[in-house]
Structure 1
Amino acid sequence: MSLTDDEITRASASVAHNYHPLPVVIAQGEGAWVTDVEGRRLLDMLAGYSALNFGHGDKQLLATAHAQLDRLTLTSRAFHHDGLATFCAELAELAGMEMVLPMNTGAEAVETALKTARKWGYRVKGVPEGRAKIVVMDGNFHGRTLTVVSFSDDPEATADYGPFTPGFVRVPYGDIEELRSAVDEDTVAVLFEPIQGEGGVIMPPPGFLRELRALCTDRNVLMIADEIQSGLGRTGRTFACDHEDVVPDVYLLGKALGGGILPVSAVVSRRDVLGVFRPGEHGSTFGGNPLACAVGTAVVRRLKEGDLQERAARLGTVLAELLAELPADAVSAVRSRGLWAGVDVRGRSGRDVCEGLLRRGVLAKDAHGQTLRLAPPLIVEEEDLRWGMGRLAEELTAGQAAG
């Protein structure tokens, strides 16, 4: 007998209701599978919004964490520790950059990048004090902090949170001409997602990233790529920007950087950008802590091997083929790159489809009403991926029959 939504709500009475999770209570995880408190095995097709790219309970990453737990967990940045320089150097090398500013959550990385861009604008570009502008995109999702939601166009993210932080200009996602018009002498940065994950795995037009790179270079504006969800192997390349052979001025990384074990994020850039900070101007008690650096370094070393990126690309081809076979009368659009996909369903909400998938043994997440997001761990077996997509096809077919 499955727990009902009401039973779970009563059991979680002390938990603030800022989420509306599916009616399942997970107790264990291994690889691409989890087990709930009733012993049901479920295929995880969300992977913690890409935080679990390496799957649940990766033995190498856990061994690294356990070893570090026995040695040193926290010093604060008031002192050096023996893992920070290694983590920053190896992550910078992976990204082809020079410096790393480690933080904890993705939202903190975004906030840090916004502060970096403004400080760079005043100290390096020479923008008059108080006039720095940052261009952002419609449909963006960069976190939940007050400054970040100040430039969101999602009513759920903004309702009852004003007044908002000024200094942002929003343009249509993927529209290079609107971007050209928005960038002026006070613009210090363009913040964008190479693929909008929370928006439903939305991709810009082909060539947009290259045009954006050229525009930012021409106008002396920082190109800031939020690769918190799209980076670190998810799309079949180390970074989603790699698909257009584009290198931004700043990478924002998180989620998978913590190996599914703890929150780790980072701003990765050149020395002339991150070098604008002086001691005392920005910081974080837990940012770059020894445990985070140990796990983060292990993640970076795994990615340097390239096997996971190749696996995501190969299985991404399989996923695209399976998406194309979904019942056409139940689906209005599909979008995928690597092991990441958005499926727009007809006649049902994405939440309803996710609840149906849960009953069939698959975990997924909806977005913006009628979109289903799929992001299995990169270590998922092809057989399991095919099984999970088979359950999705069954659920969509059953929904059309019931309708």
Structure 2
Amino acid sequence: MIYQPRIFRKSKPLFSQLILGFVLVVALSCAQEKKIENSENSFESVHFSMENSLSIDRSSEMIVISLEELKEKFYLEDGVSYRVFLGEEEVPSQLNEKGSDKGLVFVLPFIGANQKLEIEVKASSDITVPNYPKLTQAELSHKFGGEFKDREYLGGHFENVDSLHVPAAHTDHSWFIRYEGPGWESDLVGYRFYLDWRNGIDVFGKKVNTPVLQEVGQDGFDSYHEPANWGMDVLKVGKTLGLGSIATLEDGKARRVDVTDSLYAEITNNGPVYSSVFTRYSGWDLPAGKTDILANISIHSGTRLSKMDLESTNSIANFATGLIKDAKAEVLKSDGSLAYSYLATYGPQSLAEDNLGIAVIYPTAQLTQDTEDELSHILVFDSGSKKLSYYFLAAWEQEPGGITTQEEFIAYLDQEILKLSNPLKIAVK
């Protein structure tokens, strides 16, 4: 036993102790009153102005108030909820803690030509966030309860997961992952990519404005290639770049992300107005050496556009993407006069044998080459940067109220690159 000597201190006078006790009681009482007052009227609010500098109306504009700005503007503890209001009308929102767009995300329903609007963000630890209509979705589903045999997964049942380290035994058509990879959708269109050596991006055309991915591939591995009430797979990817697939230009040909050491995918957001998928391609084996590719794909409500944010651990000569070549579709290109440009095709190129428009929208200044090979239209970008962001989209004529002519598709693309080149001006009031 260790002996610890007692330390004697002079006692405080009784009067001093009484005064101290009184002060503590008053302080606790005031704190309790403040807590009660805050619980009755506990939100803080910040007003933001939104300005449209263009002479055209704009709808479904995504706004992100970063986590850093939220922490700066709202002096509240963890566990805070946020709600967004445009006048008396609430705008659905969500708080993203992962992905490329970390922060409070909401989609401004409409802002007129040359108009200024003011939105109010309210924050409180007491706010109950409503269950907003679900207009976006991201999911990843694979089988449990079976086993791999000769690179095919036998038996089992599908379950949704938040993430997946892809097993080494998995390859194309191994029947392990539902519709062969992650999927994401807005109320207008759905997409997927093959989570294997192919890594091509495909399109699910939608006939409804509600989430459909949860139904896709449940009743048979290839059933989504046939027309269904929700829609169907409308693009034949094969060995092409499909729609905006990640690639490099090698010996005059597009090469998708193929030979890697490992693959990891994660559903980073699955919310009412914004969903996203993260993928790590570890050890992509290129002539100049191996590199890791970090890819984040996101989509928000009210849009066909998916955004691809790419980062490479090493510089890649000839970072590329592009579109499938189809003799039935006409090639469309913008004139390069804006900050964003597009490469697109339009025509009866869907698997339903009707009109489908597909496009890649990219930062004009980063383009170094516009070329093609036997299978794909190819865009090549500045290799000096380890980062690249671009958008891709599809517009199927069977969408509710969809685009049905080439002229409409061109007008739509022209407006999209104009808006991307002139983002809304946002300021704190």
Q: Shorter-normalised TM-score: what interval?
A: under 0.3
- Computing the radius of gyration from Cα coordinates, the structure with the larger value is 2
Higher relative contact order (CA 8 A, sep 6+): 1
In terms of fraction of residues, the more helix-rich structure is: 1
Q: TM-score, normalised by structure 2?
A: 0.24
Q: TM-score, normalised by structure 1?
A: 0.25
In terms of fraction of residues, the more strand-rich structure is: 2
